[in-house]
Structure 1
Amino acid sequence: MILVFGKTGQVARELATLSGDVTCLDRAQADLSVPGACDAAIRAARPDAVINAGAFTDVDGAETQVALATRINGAAPGEMGRACADLDIPLVQISTDYVFDGSGHAPRLPEDPTGPLGVYGASKLEGETAVSDSGCRHAILRTSWVFSAHGENFVKTMLRLGAERELLRVVADQIGGPTPASVIAAACLTMVQGLRVGAPSGIHHLSGRPDISWAGFARAVFDVAGLDCKVEDITTADWPTPAVRPANSRLDCTSLMAVFGIARPDWRDGLRAVIKS
């Protein structure tokens, strides 16, 4: 049995549909903000592996809820890692492109220097470090721009606003790879199996191809959905937010293919699937 922290999030919901060997825990069953809760849940369940799909994902809210974001995204994964090390079971930890500073134009490699711009990225980086230091067999999967038919995400927001308005102003100077949650979930299951049979611990990247701006992604959403909504390109400066977003979210995903045989997906396939669902 694979124990999954998180139940209502995008990746957790996809995991539940992909495998009958998955048990997903909600906040009532394992509150990541409570010290000891993750350790107790793992030891009680005695799973074969753990996937952490739970996180504090409110990027702007993290700027004012530093302690809570750091506890959930930083301390809790370390607690999971130590429990997994004691039980000799693998852990897959989902992380983010926000651990980088967003500079330059080249896709970031897993071993490239980090430099988060805000609390959310810093808390996720703390979680990565805690898992790596725990001594468990692990795979850290950094991903970006996650979308699905579930929860709150850019695609669902664009579908709603695109049906209501004739024009939307969307940021065009942030570039990244949209990633279907279903692909992330499938990758997590593959990585669990790889760790079980001896794949080395490490950090990997997974994002959809081709890289695109938020404005370009919005146009793709409207095109697939058949919505007659125009997109006006704007800059990040035109749309200020409490937390700074990375301008360059491009991720180099070659190590994921080399170690686990997982190819970088075409996000357009995932987009069509989500809109038709």
Structure 2
Amino acid sequence: MKPLSFVTPALKRGVQIGVLSLTALLAACGSSGPFKFDDSYSAQGQNSRVRYLVMHYTAGDHATSLKVLTQRDVSAHYLVSDERRPTVYRLVPEERRAWHAGIGSWYGFTDLNTGSIGIEIVNMGRLADGRWAPYSAAQIEALKVLLKDLAQRHGVSPRNIIGHSDVAPQRKLDPGPHFPWKDLAQAGIGRWYKEPQARALQAQYATRPLPSASQVQALLRKAGYETPDSGTFDKATQNVLAAFQMHYRPARYNGVLDAETAAILQSLD
């Protein structure tokens, strides 16, 4: 796939300033300068700093989302608008840190702002009446193109395409239960579970006990979630279970272990 080009005027200005600064530095280091500059070699031992793609909803409208993400101490690399033909804004260059993830963990990695690209989607999130705002089909199609490009260029594995609630289940709910993780997985984006295996395991739980709290906590950690090691279904573990359910079984995300949740947890790719 040819890389996408989402370039804003501000980004162009930043690139131009960077090129001018480097040009001025090289000019100052001519034959009489303190050193020579040589970029003709490229190290074999390198890769992208990006290991994760983290999805968010903005909990605001288009104008508010742009204002918050550009004028306050919170940001994201990309913002997907809710227009009929969505605009994908690049707000932070990919090589720089955006302030989007905060405190969180995924497979034990905690510096998520440094190791991720944050993607905000204009969506009101949870509404006052308890319902959740839907995502538009156009937004999801735009997101598929963007995510495929980012995952390919940065070598991001499917299990590391995640939601804010996955990395911070004690304090975050975005991108919410209407985010179409299964649809994305069917398009080759992100991780999903083996559905036939899950159905078979769920049927078996009709005649045998569900996994213990300790077993569930171990399975959640194996899936990437930061989970207590209490051996009980305490509130923190229920929050992690709810985040897992919201991602893989959004029809019911009450944080209570049941046969379907246990079966899905044991059937992840």
| TMscore range, shorter length | under 0.3
Higher strand fraction: Structure 1 or Structure 2? Answer: 1
Query: Which protein is bigger by CA-based radius of gyration?
Result: 2
TM-score by length of 2: 0.28
TM-score normalised per structure 1: 0.27
